[in-house]
Chain A
Amino acid sequence: MAPARVNADKDAEDELEMKVEKYSRGKGADLKALRDKKLKGQLAVKEKLYGQSAKAAAKAEQWLMPTEEGFLEPDEDLEKTYRVQQELILKEVDLLSSRKPFDMILPVLGPYTIEYTSNGRYMLVGGRKGHLAMMDMLNMDLIKEFQVRETVRDVAFLHNEQLYAVAQKKYPYIYNRHGTEIHCLKEHGKALKLQFLTKQFLLTSINSFGQLHYQDVSTGEMIANYRTGLGRTDVMRVNPYNAVIGLGHAGGKVTMWKPTSVKPLVTMLCHHGPVTAVAFDRSGHLMVTAGVDRKIKIWDLRKYEVVNSYPVRAQSLDFSQKGLLACSNGSLVEIYRDFGGHDYRLYMKHRMMKGYQVGKVLFRPYEDILGIGHSMGLSSILVPGSGEPNFDTFIENPMETTKQKREKEVHALLDKLPPDTIMLNPSLIATVRAPKKKEKKTKKEIEEEVEEAVDAAKNMERKKKTKGRSKPSKRAKKKEEDVFRAKRPFLEQSKEADGRPDKKQRIGEEGELPKALQRFAKKPQS
């Protein structure tokens, strides 16, 4: 009994320590190497506070987030988890969970695409032939369903379920919860894919000409409009870590974009054929791509190297909150799990009816559910261990009330990030800028500038003065002075460019010092 308790205590301690390490976000600076005593003291105090904070956070996690995700565990070595069918799982799970998986057969309005809100409560369904529906997944309630009577290519929720964007035949439109058309975004053109950057309030679209559009939905301003120059594509995903947009192209390339850069930040040659799907891990370090060349590749985005590559075909890919990877292939949906070291192995498998073509797989946030949009409707299956079991109501609250929703909206707007903050490594913000080479002006440029200044000085109008002060000679003299004055800064600049000021000048400076200060002047070394 006693040793067991000791062991348990030790385990708990270790766990706590690990969590503390996680929350202290790396190690502090080596204070012993510091020379500045004051800074040392300040940093020591700061580090102490950080340590306390991390400890408090770890403890809070221990008490407030006790739930852990549960996976399918094989009893024996030979038993394979991917052999477990949905029916088997349904028998075992609780009543509430057993109600969640469903199959909706909607054969008329064509292949369906789906989208969840970030808190996982609402689902938006878009049928290719114009069917739009929004559902409350908590109580399986249909909120609004209507037809737009034209092609619907993609759907995307904006910051909450109150507004959503639909990429239709010619333009994307924004509808509200009740299905009222709010905006028609003509500038985007014929959008094929939509993505919403929640923190920046940017709606991103890629249209049929390969143009990438960023539009701020809070102000309506068009932030950016870039030609990818890599042809038409409908493969687009946001990296949730840094809000960088990843595009998969027909040439096997994956490009990453931000709204303030004309050129892609990164261009990677991922596949030998067209890229069919891209997905990003929640941590932002992993990217998975699928190509027509029958490969799924897992990339480490910190090194831009392939971590793993599997000979599987995939039409759509998605990472769950807990790191499960879903990929669809024809009517087959496969789910892979990381068994350590990015070694993804098949975890679950689900086969749709023969002939159903799965168009999109999407994990539902905060639930162990995978939504599937296919050619004959939509369905959802149970995937144990996919969703985050503990939700922070300050970040996302699946059970949020109207009041909370409103509050959150205001807060989100107040905390909106400017589009400039999107960069590959957002932790770079507030760090020291790398020194860059000074761009020297060429001689020609300098000459031009001087000329300009001189011209301006010459053309300056002068007052007419009385009593012979406007004599031609005086005017000429004045003009000369003005020109000289205009030139002077450039001359000084050129002097500065040489590096140090003249020796003569320095001597002069010393002489100019007032008597009282002369004793502080540097004595010439003799």
Chain B
Amino acid sequence: MPKKPAMRRGKPALGPEKKRRHGPRLPTAMRRELDAMGPGGSDDEELSDAGAQDVYEYEEGVPEEEAGKNGRYDAVAKYEYEFDSDASEADEDVPSEEGEDMEEDDDGEDEEKQIRILQETTGMPREAFDGKKRKQPLELPLQHGDGPVTIHDLLDNIQGKPGYSKVRKRLQQQEKKTMIVAAPLPKVDREKLERGVANQELKRELTKWERNVKGNREAPTLFFENDANLGVNTVAAIASKFKPRSEFEKRMAEITRSSEIMEAHKNDGAKILELNKIDVEDVRERQNRLAKMRSLLFRHEMKAKRVKKIKSRTYHRMLKKDKLKVASAEFEADPEAIKDYAMKQEFKRAEERMTLKHKNTSKWAKRILKRGLSVQDEGTRAAITAQLQQNALLTRKMNSMKDDSSSEESSDDDEDENDSEAKILNRGKEKILKVLEEDKEIPNSGVFSLPFMERAMKKQEEAAYEEARQALEDYDDSLRKLEDDNTEQNEDSIKVTGKRTFGPAKNTHEDVNKRQKLHETESSDSEYDSDPAQHLGNNEPTTKQDDIQLGTALLDDEQNDLYKSFDDIMKNPGPKTTFEVGMLAGDSWKKVNSSKGNGNSNVNGVTNKSKLQAPPIVDPNPKQQGSNPDSDSEEEMVEGFLTMSDTKENYELPSQAELIRQAFAGDDVEAEFEKDKMEVLNEENPEPEKPALVPGWGQWTDIQQKKGLPSWMIKEHAIAKRNREEALKRRKDSKLKHVIISEHVDKKVEKYLVRNLPFPYTSKDVYEQSIRMPIGPDFNPAISVSALNRPAIVKKPGVIIKPIQYEEVDPHMKPDEPKRVIQRVTPHPNAKKASAKQSKGATSHKRK
């Protein structure tokens, strides 16, 4: 415990330079001002510093074990250390110990004396020793001999007192162990450890939710049921369920529920009522007192209002001064107030840093700045600068309270000295300027002969005021600049954001445009596709039609009708592409007709039927046909078997081919079909043009002609040909001689197809297999329709979804096995089980 006095005594022994290094660092501006005051002022400051030291002592990194924080450190070791250090310390300690010794001997008078001696020797104020005395309840035993004080010496002193044996035992144990207290870990490591521990804890806390969340995510459906509290809870109902748990509650319950007290309570009803009786006098007195208080309050309020309205500057100044006086008086009276004040000040500073209240953010300041400082009168300008100064003061970084208090003092002094704040400011500026110039002079003394320096020297005194003003203006300018900067920054930021948002937006717009363009082009493509065909159709069929009309003009009326309708259809643009084919087909039929005319009469009826519209022919026709098959089938019936042996016939007919050929002589259906197919193929995959030179090009010389076609042309042609071949091979009907399957892509169908594979799927097969099953009510039994179409979340409107709650989840449970109910209907623990059972039953019923 003697540590503190030692420290204090040690302090003054240090030199002033050293102390300054330890003390709070003054801001440069202050220091400059101080310097301007001259060397004489420094003494004062020193003194004041010394005075302030009592209050705010700057302590340099006392190790924690020494400070005895937290009681974490071994007491024994500390004692030894302390005493050692004391012993090693210089002679100064000796008198103090002596003093203390004497203190023990004498009681009252000696104390005075001793303090005086101490004061003289150390040169420290009296209070320090007083305090020390107060704080030192333990009296050190007399020390015999020169050796250091050990714990045993101390123990001897308390021998025979209660608890002595205990202490001794512990001591012995400790001595046996002779443990060495390791140096505490560095702060960084300690914090790291702590963080690690905290992290682990947090992780555990967080990962316990994983199962719950995973289950919810994997569940195909979540059920949110209304958490309607159906059981009506009253206070009495809740109270009746109360069971005492803690010790205190139990005891209370014991007392309140003991039969005696209950009975007494019952009997005491009347007594309690009696106690409730109040005297009339008392009531009146109370009322009077209340009324008085109310009126006083009201008056105080009125006064406050009036005072608040006072706008007089002098009045407020006076008020402020009074307040300050009171405060200072308080400071002197008690150190607690100082602490409070310091706290308050610190708070203010923090607040200022937070709000920047004095940094021209107020409406008033803004207005003035907007108008321009140069336009304002001196008073307002001064006010603004004062405000800024205050801001600077409040936001300045400070290391300790000492500096703060000093600055406050100085400002207080200023206020005392001067009448108007503007003047204070100006003066301050002047001072600053002077200081600056002096600063300049000192380093530039070598170049004193420079003309501008001389000029400056001359003008120094006269221009001081003006320069101050200039400085002020500069200050204002800088202020304005600051503001401008702010606005510029804002603009910049806006620009940046603008760029950011603008870029993509533009892109998307362009994209859309592109898409539109693409669409347009596509549509136009399709038009292009159809257009030429139309033109062709328009040109060719008309001529052909003319021919036909010439040829068939003498046919019956019905056919005239036919061509009329042809004309009608000509106007329709749609099927014109096919029209041509149709006409071609007609031509071929003509050919057939002519060929028939030459040869067979057998098929005549059939062709007639299909070519010419002749209703009466229909009747005989089937008859004619019917007679043949009748006989055929009868023949087969005679055989008794109608199992057709030649199941798979080729197109090269083996035996009956001759017959068929005869029947349809000249009507080579197959060849025609092949031709048609080729046409279709060429239409869908056009044959590449044969390489040819434009006459006159590339044929200027013999060599060129001999070379023939350029190789690139041949190559290109070959590639195109190969591509076509491949395309034809890829066709579905490439291997089917008798089938043409149109490869034409129907755009109208495309809207029913999926353009890209939907997101989670990566393979087409999986996707298509997943949609193979219809889920509608037409294709599924009623039982499974609802299950197939259940949404991911089942929730009635109006149900409030509460935050997730922790519950134990079996990790091996499948996600859809129990119905995953997030919120159950019943909040009551009794009813909960029942509902859970019910819901389970429901699911099992639903899902089987």
Contacts and interface: CB of A to CB of B under 8 A. Distances in A.
B765 A293 contact: no
A315 B769 contact: no
B574 interface: yes
B781 A313 contact: no
Contact of A41 (B218, B525, B757, B771): B218
A272 to B, nearest CB: 5
A229 B753 contact: no
Nearest to A436: B745
Contact of A262 (B574, B625, B640, B751): B574
Contacts of A210: 582
A354 B677 CA distance: 44
B629 A294 contact: yes
Interface in B658-682: 660, 663-664, 669-670, 672-673, 676-677, 680
Contacts of A56: 780-781, 783-784, 848
B756 interface: yes
B interface, by DSSP: helix, strand, loop or mixed?
A: helix
A193 to B, nearest CB: 13
Given A264-B742, A433-B754, A231 B781 contact: no
B781 A29 contact: no
Interface in B755-789: 755-757, 760-774, 778, 780-781, 783-784, 787-788
Given A267-B740, A304-B733, A309-B648, A430 B771 contact: yes
A292 B740 contact: no
B284 interface: no
B752 A28 contact: no
B626 A308 contact: no
A420 B626 contact: no
A313 B628 contact: yes
A183 B106 CA distance: 138
Contacts of A231: 585-586, 589, 610-611
B749 interface: yes
Contacts of A41: 218, 815
B562 A29 contact: no
Interface in A283-325: 292-294, 304-306, 308-313, 315
Nearest to A419: B748
A487 to B, nearest CB: 13
B742 A229 contact: no
B767 A432 contact: yes
A30 B500 CA distance: 45
A226 B569 CA distance: 10
A274 B606 contact: yes
Contacts of A432: 753-757, 764, 767-768
B619 A111 contact: yes
Interface stretch (A4-12, A44-52, A475-483): A44-52
Interface residues of A, number: 110
B664 A330 contact: no
B400 interface: no
Interface residues of B, number: 111
B510 A45 contact: no
A356 to B, nearest CB: 10
B565 interface: yes
A332 interface: yes
Interface string A239-276: 00000000000111100000011111111111011100
A332 B630 contact: yes
A441 B749 contact: no
Interface stretch (A32-40, A119-127, A380-388): A32-40
Contacts of A80: 640
B630 A331 contact: yes
A232 B610 contact: yes
Contacts of B615: 151
A357 B772 CA distance: 47
Contacts of B744: 261, 263
Contacts of B107: none
B517 interface: yes
A422 to B, nearest CB: 9
Contacts of A33: 763
A143 interface: no
B787 A433 contact: no
Interface string B216-237: 0110100000000000000000
Contacts of B566: 209
A80 B226 CA distance: 71
Candidate in B217, B517, B603 with the most chain A CB atoms within 10 angstroms: B517
Contacts of B768: 431-432
B760 A36 contact: yes
A290 to B, nearest CB: 10
A216 B582 CA distance: 25
B664 A315 contact: no
Given A329-B633, A439-B525, A308 B670 contact: no
B613 interface: yes
Nearest to A496: B514
Contacts of B202: none
A228 interface: yes
A29 B765 contact: yes
A251 B607 CA distance: 10
A30 B643 CA distance: 44
A209 B613 CA distance: 10
Contacts of A489: 510, 513-514, 517
A292 B619 CA distance: 16
A274 B605 CA distance: 12
Given A261-B746, A272-B669, A431-B753, A309 B626 contact: no
A60 interface: yes
A346 interface: yes
Given A151-B615, A269-B669, A430-B753, A53 B781 contact: yes
Given A265-B741, A394-B778, A45 B220 contact: yes
Candidate in B581, B607, B622, B787 with the most chain A CB atoms within 10 angstroms: B622
A235 B220 CA distance: 52
Interface string A428-459: 11111100100101000100010000000000
Nearest to B586: A231
Contact of A330 (B522, B627, B771): B627
Contacts of A39: 760-761
Nearest to A169: B615
A227 interface: yes
B749 A423 contact: yes
Given A313-B632, A430-B753, A229 B770 contact: no
A253 B673 CA distance: 9
Nearest to B815: A41
A151 B569 CA distance: 24
A394 B623 CA distance: 44
Given A232-B610, A313-B628, A304 B788 contact: no
B575 A227 contact: yes
Nearest to B738: A269
A365 interface: no
26 contacts: A29-B765, A29-B769, A49-B784, A53-B781, A111-B619, A208-B562, A210-B582, A226-B575, A227-B582, A229-B582, A262-B574, A265-B742, A273-B664, A304-B736, A304-B739, A308-B647, A311-B646, A315-B625, A334-B633, A345-B642, A420-B749, A430-B754, A432-B756, A492-B510, A493-B514, A514-B500
Given A48-B816, A50-B773, A304-B741, 19 more contacts: A27-B769, A29-B766, A53-B788, A57-B784, A208-B613, A210-B582, A231-B585, A231-B586, A233-B610, A273-B660, A304-B736, A309-B649, A310-B644, A313-B633, A330-B626, A330-B630, A343-B647, A430-B752, A445-B521
Interface of A: 24-30, 33-36, 38-39, 41-43, 45-46, 48-50, 52-53, 56-57, 59-60, 80, 82, 110-111, 151, 189-190, 208-211, 224-233, 250-253, 260-270, 272-274, 292-294, 304-306, 308-313, 315, 329-332, 334, 343, 345-346, 357, 359, 375, 394-395, 420-421, 423, 428-433, 436, 439, 441, 445, 449, 489, 492-493, 514
Q: Which 6 A-B pairs have the closest CB atoms?
A: A330-B626, A313-B629, A229-B582, A53-B784, A229-B581, A433-B753
